[in-house]
Structure 1
Amino acid sequence: MKLKLYIVFLLISNVIFAQKVTTSVDSIKKKIGSEFKLTLKTEVDTSSKVKFPSGKLFGNLEVLESYKIDTIKNGNRYELIKKYGLTQFDSGKYLIPRLPIIINGKKIFSDSIKIEISNVKVDTLKQKMYDIKDIIPAKSDYGNWWIYLLVLVVLVVIGFLIYLFIKKRQSKEKPVVIEFKSPIEKATTLLQQLEKKELWQKGEVKNYYSELTDIARNYIEEEIQIPAMESTTSELILGLRNAAKQKKLKLSSETVENLEKVLKQADLVKFAKVKPLDFEIEEDKKRISNSIVTIHNSIPEVVEENDELELWNEQQKEKARLEKLKKQKRTRIMATIAIVAGVLLMSLLVLIYFKGFDYVKDNFLGHPTKELVEGEWIYSEYGNPTVKIETPKVLKRMDVEKVMPKNTMALIKEMQIFMYGSLTDDFYIGVSTTTFKQQAQIDLEQAAEGSLKIFEAQGATNIFVKTEEFDTQKGIKGRKAYGTMVMVDKISGKSIKMYYEILIFGQDNGLQQITIMHREDDKYGKQMLERILNSVELQNNSQS
């Protein structure tokens, strides 16, 4: 009776083309600690690229040494011979697992071989005994960790110094600019500040007269609007008299003469190096101060309604001040963010340089399946007939009636399905066990085809498949289907290329199936798949 099987399991990978690999060992029986010589041979074209397996463990056997590949040329083909030295320090029967050999990017597997390790009898009467040696510290893979730490500290310090530099420049006190409401207020204040300097008392008479006359000239220019700063003494006095007449200033001749005397005295001090006596300097200061006050009082008072204008000006100044503070704060925040981002970027670049991009991606950016590889695995039993398997997570029992069509369930006596993940997840595991109501000859190839049709029903496209025999470590034979397919993520709409392997066993009028799938380019998915396959064991019933 032909049965069409529908079992929901997911997997994807590359198309595997047949290549012959010969597997042999120098002996199937050795004593504890002795070396087994495992030999893998394959014949390929001269242009082929071959990658033999590597690692510290092959199943439960320790790899003592991986020998160099021997190459024998035979016409336009090469025979490649790869040898490994294996050992085990516990007695018992072991299985050298099927090992993957990659030829031109395609993976094929060697045969598994059973070996036996026997105890070594020790005659303690003849054998000399030695004390246990002290523990030798292992070399750390991170011996140069301090270099990375030093680089990181240097980057942080540089970033911090840049931040302080920006903050200092922003908070650096700028020269205080005093704003005066009127020219007379400005001139009076500057005269007071000049006296506090005590220039002429310190012998700096020339500088004193220069600042004194500049204050007077600047006041006249601002108050009366004549070019006092650029005029000679004679031109200034003439311009002042003319302005007094035009603007009807109540300016006496005595005031103009006193101002002229001080200006001429200043010219003599600056250009003729005349040094006035102390009382003369005091008199000149009074003349300038009185002249400024007299000129101010001589100007006709103009009453203007400018309170609102002054208020508006004050508001604008306060608004400009607050805006400036906000801008400085935004600049500091942006500079801090830029510095922190720069430090992080430089740190990542240093790590990428020393460790590689994959290391940074896995440990800092995160890799979803890396956590599964490094987590605590569970070895458990599922279904009936029992499937024993090691998985990174406990598989969840599914409601069979919701998964299987009713017409198929009519043929089934008992069915159990256990799963982790889904078809479009990064990693998926499915285990199912089925027993049928009627005795039937189960075609494992046809069962594999039924599973692939389930993939198609779930939206899989471009399915490539290859099948071959598969033996568990205890020698139970089954069928394996493996290959690649493309799945579409229903949420993002992205196409994902997946690698899958399906193991199918027929026992006691029943079917046991294991499906594993992961993203094709996921190295951690490949590691998990290999570990799971090496752990598969079944209830040892008679084969159908």
Structure 2
Amino acid sequence: MKRLLATALLAGLGFAAAAQEAPTVKAHIEPDSIGIGDRFDYVIDVEKDLVQVVRFPAFQQTDDKIELVKELPVDTLERDGRRLKLRKRYRLAAFQEGRFDLGHAQVLYAGKNVVDTLSGGDSLWLEVTTFQIDSTSQSIYDIKGQKTLPFRFAEVAGYVKWGIFILLVLLAAAYALRRWLAARGKGFGDLFRPAPPLPPHVAAIRALEALHNQKLWQNNRHKPYYSGLTDILRTYIAGRWGIKAMEMTSDEIIEAMRGEELPDKASMDLTAILRHADLVKFAKDTPGAEQNEADYLKAYYFVEETKLVDEADEPTQDTLEIPN
């Protein structure tokens, strides 16, 4: 019985010792001989237990002979039970000829109640070579000066051909446009003239229709509705009779329009619209739906009854058509 206990105790101690065995560190460079300016990899391999913690070193720039190009992440190469094999790569470049001692690879190790720095093997050496120039067989010359080559039309022939083709197309398009404009009694200058202003009554009718489509009074916005209605009429009066209606009060507009030859209904409609608008804007009156629609129709017919009609626009007896 005592022999069995001793054997079990020795086995447990052996397992604990194996679990606390320090990681092994190995390092090498790939390749160990390069040309100047070339890159190489500094590789550190660590084999450790699953619960052990290691930290790979950070590259320290000491001079301009060797520079860090890229530090690759840690890679797991192998896993066997509790054992792990890790690899860390540092991609470096050498910019000076010679043989360099890269030292020992060192890894920080932290185990159970242990913090230590582990080194891996012998020092690593890197051989950096350059091109050897034999000055006895090869002559060295200065840099040659810039040489101007003769101009050759073939170098620009394609651009010239396409330029001529595009020019002919533009000339043909301009000629066709000129013929088209001449057939309509116009010239090139007519293309850039601004459109003539709309007659006052056309502008007023379009503005009234746009106001009606906004549905302001239907959403209890009576004041904006009547403000828009009276502004349209003021603009129409200013354009139709030359009266500065935008700067006048309602009473001043009514007084000024008495000097114009207006149909009786048109004069009464204008007065009614301006009075109702003043009540809404200044007395906060809220007209009903019938009143709002009636004032819109009055403004519409006021413009239609008082607009200027050219003789060319008036229907003649020959062209007048009576709908069925």
When the two structures are superposed, what TM-score results if normalisation uses the length of structure 1?
0.22
When the two structures are superposed, what TM-score results if normalisation uses the length of structure 2?
0.36
Q: Which has the higher contact order (CA 8 A, sep 6+)?
A: 1
